[in-house]
Structure formats: C-alpha cells, structure tokens
Structure 1
Amino acid sequence: MDKAVIIGAYEFIGFHLCLSLLEKGVEVIGIHLPSLHDDDYLEEKRLSVGRNSNFIEKDETFFEPGQSLLDNSVLFIDYYSYYRMHKENELESMINQSIVNGAAQCILIVPVQLSNKTFAADFPLQLVKRQKDFQIYYLPTVYGPWQPHHFTFQKALLNPDKPLKIDKREWTNDALFISDVITRILAQVEKKENLEILLESSINDHWYKAASTILKNTTIEKTNEELKVNEDIVVLQVDGTILSEGVETQKRHLVRLKQLK
C-alpha cells in the first residue's frame, strides 16, 4: 500500500489507522468532517500528524462532484466511530458511489452489531460489497489511547467517582485494545482478500473484566442483544495486549492529555 484515504481521520479508529499508516511511510489523505464532530483534543491530534509530509487533511469538500481519489489508493471508512456518535446517517448522506468506485481497495470498519443478519442489506455494507476489492471489519468495543469521551471506559476515567450510564450502542459482550485491532486490520488488508471479518478477543468476557477495573458506582451488565452473525463472515480471534496493560496505557495517555490542557 502506497496511498490511503481515511474518512474519519481524527475519529477513534481512523486516527489510529492514520498514525500507523504514516509510520509505515504511506501517503495519507485524511478526511475530517467538522460538521459531524470536533473533539476536545483535535489540535493535539493535528499536531501528531501535521508535521508529517505524507499527510494531507481534507474536509467535506472532498465529497463534492468532480473530486476523485488518488490513483491506486486504499479507502478506509471509519463508520464505526460515527455509529458510536449516533452520526452514521449524516455520514451516509455524504458518501457516494463515485467516491467508493474510485478506490483501488475499500475497507469498511463497522460495529459488531452490523454483523447481525438483520443488518446485512443495509448501507454501507452493500455499497462496499459491490466493489471489486473490499474488506469489511466488524468490531466490538475498542479501548485505548484517544478513546472518545462517550465511551464508557474513558468516561469512567474522567469521572471516577460518578455513576455512569452506559450508552446502548456500547457492546459490552467483548472488547479489544486499539493497537491489536489496527495491527490485525493492516496485516489482513495487505493480503487483498475479499472478506467480511469479525474480530473477537481471545480473552473471555474482555469488556466486563476491563470494566471491572475502571468503573465504580455503576452496574455492569452484558449486552442482552443476541448476535446472529451472517454466515459469510469469518470470525477471527485477536491476541495481543494484556488486559491490565491496555487499561493502564489508556489511563496514562489520558493523564498526559490533561497536562496539555
């Protein structure tokens, strides 16, 4: 991979993809959609990538008629982050067929809930599946540095003594550490196989065990929703970061961010 376009370059998954690809020497066009989200640490994120000559930032004008992707670029869509913000409808209204068609390979990252058979016909899954080269990744809750404030773990670290309400879109049956997710996705992308892949932790009850070390005064329950995974989806277990190390890494990163404010 020489060139990549990331829709949601400053969102949780997209930003970590951006950092990893730049580290590998890949040219990255990062699409930031300020009308959908501006987080408290946007400037810190810009500083992290802005000095890299391989990075170019674009905004909503990227979706205007006449815009096209770089030749042979891989398109990453961080649908996962917009879904968690309840902004997926706005994202869908921007993405059009010509943008997706212009990619050499299209990588769609979505929440595990969309692996349910009842979602199989929904946008953006079918749009991406029409491409010659595509991969779709279904993720449970992901945690680690730069986790957004509306995720339960980050919210608990920011307000350690307050009872919290867990967002209904947080998948509490499983969790993965962010660097393990990015490593697995980028390794699989290089194989250029057309696959739908659900990533799950090799640690049983990963979310619950991580939450138990962070949450206070909050009732912790697993998601009741039953997952009926489409038969076309490959389920891959992810090994990697020790749970306690992942939680501590997120804590230390948040402390550093607070010091910058």
Structure 2
Amino acid sequence: MERATILGIYDFIGYSLCRYMLDLGVEIDGIDPEGNIEDYFTEEKRLEIGRNANFTEIGLKDWEVEGAKGFLFVTLFGSLQTRKGTDDIVEALLTKLENRHLKRLPTAVILPAYFAQENVKLREADTKISHFISSRESTLLTIYLPTIYGPWQPEDCFFQQTMTLSSIDDRKIPDIGQWEWTHDCLYIDDAVKTIKEMAESGHQGQYILSSGEQGRWLQCAEELLGKEAAILRKEVKTPVIKGSIQVRPVEQNEQISKGLSRQKEQFTRIQDSRV
C-alpha cells in the first residue's frame, strides 16, 4: 500500500492507524470531519503527524472522491462509541461512500463492536450506516472493534477514566459507558496492524476483531484496579453477533501490563504538558 486516505484522522483509531502507516512510508491524506471542533488533544496530534512530509490534511468539503487514489479508511470509532458529533456528517459521508461503491474503489469502515450485535437498539444515524454496510458488502471491508486501549484512548473510556481518577487520588471506580464493549479488548497497535493487513490483502465483507482470550477486558481492569475490580465480575450475557460477521483473531496480543503502562506514560506526559 503506497497511498491511503483516512476519514477521521484525529479519531483514536484513525490517528493511530495514520502513525503506523506513516512509519511504513505510506502517503496519507487525512480528513477531519469535525474540523470545527478543536481541543488540546487534537492540537497535540496535529503537531505530531503534521511534521511528516508524507501527511496532508484536507477538509471534508474539499475531499474529491472521484479523484482519490489508494485505499479509504473511515474511522469514526471514538465519536460513535461516545455518541458525540456524528449525526451531522453521516449523510455527507454516505453519499461519498456510495460514489466509491459505484466506482468499486477499495474502502474499509471501522466501527465499534456494538454495531455487530444482533437486536441492538441503534440511533437513526447508526441505523443508516448499518443498512448501507449490509447492502454494499460486496465492495466494502467492515471491521468491528471491541474496546481498544493504549496511548490516546478517549477520556470517556473506562480505562482512561480509571487512570484519571488514580492521578487525583480518587479511588472511586468510574461508570462503564453503555456502549463500551466489555466482552473483549485489544491493544491499539495490534488492532491497527491487523486493519492494515486485512485491507492490503483485499479482504471484503464484515469481521469482528478478537483477542482470542477469554476475559481479557476484565484482566485489563484488574491490572488497573487490583482487588477492587472484583465488583466488575458480573454475570454478563455473551452478546450474539450477526451471522454475516466473521470473527478474526489478531495474530498476537500485546502484554497487558506493557500496553497499559504505555497508556499511562502518554497520559502523564499530556497532563504534565498542560500545567
């Protein structure tokens, strides 16, 4: 893969995928669909990847689908999982994806795992995305992700909230978000490596990535909370995944302690730089 476009460049997954591919020498066009929403973390990310000569940031309105070269990755994982700021861009996004579908241009859509669950109640915007994927499966690669942890995990996620509370000596265990997938988790580098490999190999259809390890999300929680994580051991009914979706295990899982340590280090660095 020599060139790619990432829509959702400052999304947790999009940013990490961009960094990974830039390190491999891939030329990246990055699109920030929420370009009018700026925060400290976006500024930090922009500074970091903006130094790379192979990276170009373009606006959603300036993105010409017809002339686009290379693979397109649509990564709205973070904003969809936290239910923030996606409704307004869905229509524009689906129109552009339809144009790519008609031209049979290679496209991967990365979504939170709850989209893969049978009988889940979706918002109107989510339902439109789900219906589009179901009817365009022959030209799309759709990848559903469980909880992803590691550097730059969104502040709304359970593991990041736990680190935040620990830094202010508050031992209260944070609430788990309604849409956070507690049935499995992957380290960010393992996830983006698998996404790129699947896209590059020409995979199409729908897949949910798996660690292949039972109780891995809880193992991460225990690493952060110790004995206090025992209250999280609830009888949770295993979700039913749609029959059209294949399970794709990652080849190798990062050691939990190492992955969380890197997340803590990055979190501390950002917090110190804001003082």
- Same fold per TM (> 0.5)? yes
Partner of 1:155: 161
Partner of 2:88: 90
Q: Contact 1:153 / 1:215 at 8 angstroms: preserved in 2? A: no
Alignment of 1:16-165 (within 5 A): 16-34=16-34, 37-62=37-62, 67-68=64-65, 70-87=67-84, 88-102=86-100, 104-118=105-119, 122-128=127-133, 129-130=135-136, 133-160=139-166, 161-163=170-172, 164-165=174-175
Give 1:3 shift. Answer: 2.0
Q: Contact 1:135 / 1:194 at 8 angstroms: preserved in 2? A: yes
Corresponding letter in the other structure for 1:167: G
Corresponding letter in the other structure for 1:144: G
More displaced stretch, 173-182 vs 40-49: 40-49
Q: 1:222 to 1:106 in 2, by over 3 A?
A: farther
3-state DSSP class of the match of 1:159?
helix
Q: 1:144 to 1:70 in 2, by over 3 A?
A: farther
Partner of 1:204: 214
**Inter-partner Cα distance in structure 1 for 2:67 and 2:26:** 12
Q: 1:199 to 1:36 in 2, by over 3 A?
A: farther
3-state DSSP class of the match of 2:144?
strand
Count of residues paired in the alignment: 258
Taking structure 2 as the reference length, the TM-score comes to 0.84
Give 1:26 shift. Answer: 1.7
More displaced stretch, 219-228 vs 185-194: 219-228
Give 1:2 shift. Answer: 2.3
3-state DSSP class of the match of 1:30?
strand
3-state DSSP class of the match of 2:5?
strand
**Inter-partner Cα distance in structure 1 for 2:239 and 2:36:** 29
Corresponding letter in the other structure for 2:129: P
Q: Contact 2:186 / 2:253 at 8 angstroms: preserved in 1? A: no
Q: Contact 1:143 / 1:175 at 8 angstroms: preserved in 2? A: yes
Does residue 220 in structure 1 map to residue 232 in structure 2?
Answer: yes
3-state DSSP class of the match of 1:123?
helix
Corresponding letter in the other structure for 1:231: G
3-state DSSP class of the match of 2:47?
helix
**Inter-partner Cα distance in structure 2 for 1:249 and 1:54:** 26
Partner of 2:202: 192
**Inter-partner Cα distance in structure 2 for 1:246 and 1:92:** 33
Does residue 240 in structure 1 map to residue 243 in structure 2?
Answer: no
- Residue ranges of structure 1 left out of the alignment (5+ in a row): none
More displaced stretch, 140-149 vs 28-37: 28-37
Q: Contact 2:11 / 2:76 at 8 angstroms: preserved in 1? A: no
**Inter-partner Cα distance in structure 1 for 2:138 and 2:245:** 17
Q: Contact 2:18 / 2:28 at 8 angstroms: preserved in 1? A: yes
3-state DSSP class of the match of 1:95?
helix
Per-residue CA deviations over 1:166-197 (Å, capped at 9, x if unaligned) read 21111111111000001111111111121211
More displaced stretch, 166-175 vs 79-88: 79-88
**Inter-partner Cα distance in structure 1 for 2:40 and 2:254:** 27
Give 1:225 shift. Answer: 5.7
Give 1:73 shift. Answer: 2.2
Q: Percent identity?
A: 28
Q: Contact 1:198 / 1:235 at 8 angstroms: preserved in 2? A: yes
Q: 1:101 to 1:132 in 2, by over 3 A?
A: farther
**Higher helix proportion:** 2
Q: Contact 2:6 / 2:72 at 8 angstroms: preserved in 1? A: yes
Give 1:208 shift. Answer: 0.7
Corresponding letter in the other structure for 1:72: K
Q: 1:100 to 1:57 in 2, by over 3 A?
A: farther
Q: Contact 1:12 / 1:146 at 8 angstroms: preserved in 2? A: yes
Give 1:250 shift. Answer: 0.8
**Inter-partner Cα distance in structure 1 for 2:66 and 2:49:** 20
Give 1:17 shift. Answer: 0.9
Taking structure 1 as the reference length, the TM-score comes to 0.88
